[in-house]
Amino acid sequence: MKTIVAALAGGLLALGSTVAAAQEWPNKPLRLLVGSAPGGGTDAMARAVADRLGPLLKQAVVVENKPGVSNTLAADATAKSTDGHTLVMGVVTAHAIAPHLLKLGYDNNRDLVPVAFVGTVPNVLIVTNGLTAKTVPELVSMAKKEPGRINYASSGTGSTQHIAAEMFKDAAGIDIVHVPYKGSSAALVDLVSGQVQMSFDTMPSVIGQIKNGKLRALAVTTPKRNAQLPNVPTMAESGLPAVEIGAWYGVYMPASTPKPVQQRVHDEVNKVLAMPETKTRLEAVGAELTPMTQADFAAFHAAEYKRYGDIIRKNNIKID
């Protein structure tokens, strides 16, 4: 009996220490890592959250960009961090797509834990003004007449832009050429100038160029039209229902993070998402904010990981 009582007391003491540590956390500024360059969709999501999260946690939340390798450099750094104050603004590219295409230096499903889901944005099929195509069928017709002439940009191999374009190629039966960049910003410069002709970039990255007429939107890749581009049809409405994809975002932390700390980050991020100014800021770039419980986010992560694995195998998508 004494042994049992001692064990219970020890367990309660350990639990009390964990809770106390969580209450004292954070005790220094936090880093919110982003796997793409400034100006992209992931960066926009991260900064909208960080700006309001810092005051709630009473510590600065510094956004740090680590672009490259299909958004996985930031995830890798987070998975291997030991300071207890590093998070990553996860994106579908890093957590559901790249693990099927790349040999990573960490285990995506073991070393990181989904903590707080943020939201989803559509990919948008955009073309340079130098192309005469005004609709998806016109673009398909043009590509069939001149196989291999049209180039498409992406923010990197294995990105949603890359996957969407490969799905488009397969569904439409066309030959277009992939030109990967290190982030959306560089790709958009060449799109606007006409160096490349099209892309399936994410809404936050391109909404400004679409609205100011520098690029033309032909379709969105989500099942429904987006409120920011109500006159732009879906890919399904354009005759290609198989091309359905969206970029989702959420905060991940190292799997070693104490559960009470994970819960606090989850709760505070959801408070940020409920703020009218945050909702206005993100909805203006086409984001649909869909807060989840942490358990629901974990289930969503697992389902998306499987879904993209199936898509990649079905379309025989590989990194050159």
Number of alpha carbons in the 13 Å side-chain half-sphere of residue 39: 14
In the chain, the amino acid numbered 259 is K
Query: What dihedral angle (degrees, nearest 10) is formed by the CA atoms of 265, 270, 276, 280?
Result: 90
Give the N- to C-terminal CA distance of the chain in Å, as an integer.
65
- Report whether 93 contacts 158 (CB < 8 A): yes
Question: What's this model's pTM, rounded to 2 decimal places?
Answer: 0.82
Strand, coil or helix: 303: helix
Residues 318 and 127: their CA atoms lie apart, in Å, by 24
**Cross-strand bridge partners of residue 65:** 34
Q: At residue 60, what are phi and psi to the nearest 5 degrees?
A: -65, 140
Residues 190 and 5: their CA atoms lie apart, in Å, by 69
pLDDT at 225: 93
| Positions in the chain whose pLDDT score sits under 70 | 1-23, 320
pLDDT at 105: 95
**Cross-strand bridge partners of residue 180:** 154
pLDDT at 16: 47
- Report whether 167 contacts 243 (CB < 8 A): yes
From the list 316, 320, 43, 307, the residue with the least C-alpha distance to 156 is 320
Domains and CATH numbers, the chain: 27-120+248-314 (3.40.190.150), 122-220 (3.40.190.10)
- DSSP of 138-165: HHHHHHHHSTT--EEEESSTTSHHHHHH
Please provide the size of the chain in residues.
Answer: 320
pLDDT at 7: 52
Residues 197-244 have pLDDT tens digits of: 999 998 888 999 999 999 999 999 999 999 999 999 999 999 999 999
pLDDT at 264: 97
pLDDT at 15: 45
Question: 56 burial class (0-12, 13-18, 19+ CB within 10 angstroms)?
Answer: middle
